[in-house]
Amino acid sequence: MTQRDLASTQYKAGVLIEALEYIKAYSNKTVVIKLGGSAMTTPRLAEAFAEDMALMRLVGIRPVVVHGGGPQISELMKKLGMQPRFVAGHRVTDEATVEVARMVLLGQINRRIVGLINRHGDLATGLSGEDGNLLVTTRKFGPSGEDLGLVGEVVEVRPTVLQKLLDDGFIPVIAPLGISSDGEVHNVNADTAAGAIAKALRAEKLVYLTDVAGLYEDLGDEDTLLSEVELEDLVNLIRSDKLSEGMLPKISSCVEALEGGVSRVHILDGRIEHAVLLEVFTPEGIGTMVRAPGSPTESEFRALKD
C-alpha cells in the first residue's frame, strides 16, 4: 500500500470513528422519518435514502418510515378521468378517491421504498395505517367546517404491530391511511401521521425530509436559515398565520410530538443525498432542529452515553 493509499484509507477510518459516538448515542432508539416527495425525485436520492435506513437498522437504531404521495395520487386520478379537488389544502376525498389513494400509496410508493431498502437484506416491510388498526381515525373537517369526505384525523395509534416488527428487526414503511371505528378508510396527512406515530412510540427523533433547506428567520432570504429553534418559536409561528398550507401540518405535528415525549424534531432538505445519515452520524448540522424543552442538547445527549 502506497503512502497515498494509506492516507486515504486512514481518512476513512476517521469518518467511521467519528460516527462511533453517534452510534452509541442512538443505539436502540427509535427514529421516525417522514419521507417527502423531493427525497424520491431522482433514483440516486431514493437509493441513498434506502442505504441510510439499512445502515441505521444494522447499527442498532430502529427507523420507521412514513411516506406521502399527493402528486402521484392526483396523477393517477387524472389518468382515470377523475378531477382532484382541494379545500384549504386538503384533498376532498370521496370513495373513488380513497381507492386511488390506496392504490398509489400501497401499490406504488410504499413498494418502491420497501424494494430499495430490501436490496440490503430482508429488512423492510410495508404497512398501511389500516394494518393491525395502527391508525384509528375520524373524519376531519375543513377549517371552516367544510366536508372533506374521507379525510382522517388520527384519534388513536395502536402501535403493537409496529413495536413487534421493530423488535423483530424490521424497518416498517407506512402509508398514511387510517381506519375509523366503523370501518371507514381515511386518507391521512402524512406529516400528521408521522408526528402521531413518533409520539406513540416515544421516538427519540422525528425527521421531516422536505423540499426546503429548513426554517428561515425571513422566509424570502436564504441566508437566514435557522439551525435551531425553540418549541416556543414554533407555537408563535403557528399563531402568526404566516405558515403555508403545506408547512402548517408539519409544524403542528412537530409541536404535538415534542409535547408528547419526542426529544428532537428535524426539518431537513430531502434534496441532499444522505441527508438523514449526515444528520444522524456526523456533527455537521443540516436543516433546522427543534428540541423539546428540558431535553439535553445533542452533545449533552451523547455525553450521557459515555
Near its own copies in 252-281, by CB under 8 A: 272-274, 277-278, 281
Q: By CB under 8 A, tell whether 138 contacts its own copies.
A: no
Q: How far apart are CA 182 and CA 161, in angstroms?
A: 20
| Shortest CB 181 distance to its own copies, Å | 8
Q: By CB under 8 A, tell whether 107 contacts its own copies.
A: yes
Q: Which is nearer to its own copies, 101 or 231 (CB)?
A: 101
Region from 89-97, 181-189, 239-247, 250-258 binding its own copies, contact rule CB under 8 A? 181-189
Q: By CB under 8 A, tell whether 115 contacts its own copies.
A: yes
Q: By CB under 8 A, tell whether 128 contacts its own copies.
A: yes
SS3 state of residue 272: coil
How many residues touch its own copies (CB under 8 A)? Answer: 78
Q: Which is nearer to its own copies, 168 or 218 (CB)?
A: 168
Q: By CB under 8 A, tell whether 20 contacts its own copies.
A: yes
Task: Show the site string, 52-91: x = touches its own copies by CB under 8 A, - = not.
Answer: x-xx--xxx---------------x--xx-----------
Q: Which is nearer to its own copies, 101 or 262 (CB)?
A: 101
SS3 state of residue 16: helix
Tell me 282's DSSP state. Answer: S
Q: How far apart are CA 29 and CA 9, in angstroms?
A: 30
Q: By CB under 8 A, tell whether 108 contacts its own copies.
A: yes
Q: By CB under 8 A, tell whether 179 contacts its own copies.
A: yes
Name the strand (E) or helix (H) holding 239.
helix 231-239
- Helix (DSSP H) and strand (DSSP E) numbers for the chain: 11, 14
CA 286 to chain centre: 15
Q: By CB under 8 A, tell whether 99 contacts its own copies.
A: yes
Q: By CB under 8 A, tell whether 305 contacts its own copies.
A: yes
Query: How many beta carbons lie within 10 A of that of residue 37, not counting itself?
Result: 18
Q: By CB under 8 A, tell whether 24 contacts its own copies.
A: yes
Q: How far apart are CA 98 and CA 116, in angstroms?
A: 26
Q: Which is nearer to its own copies, 167 or 218 (CB)?
A: 167
- The one-letter amino acid code at 212 reads V
Q: Which is nearer to its own copies, 74 or 253 (CB)?
A: 74
Q: Who's near 27: CB < 8 A, 6+ residues apart?
A: 59, 60, 61, 305
Q: Which is nearer to its own copies, 156 or 256 (CB)?
A: 156
Q: Which is nearer to its own copies, 125 or 138 (CB)?
A: 125
Q: Return the closest-CA partner of residue 56 out of 161, 199, 211, 169.
A: 169
Q: Which is nearer to its own copies, 111 or 202 (CB)?
A: 111
Q: By CB under 8 A, tell whether 17 contacts its own copies.
A: yes
Sequential DSSP letters for 71-138: HHHHHHHHHTT----EETTEEPB-HHHHHHHHHHIIIIIHHHHHHHHHTTSS-EEEEETTGGG-EEEE
Binder among 38, 84, 87, 102 for its own copies (CB under 8 A): 102
Length reported for the chain? 306
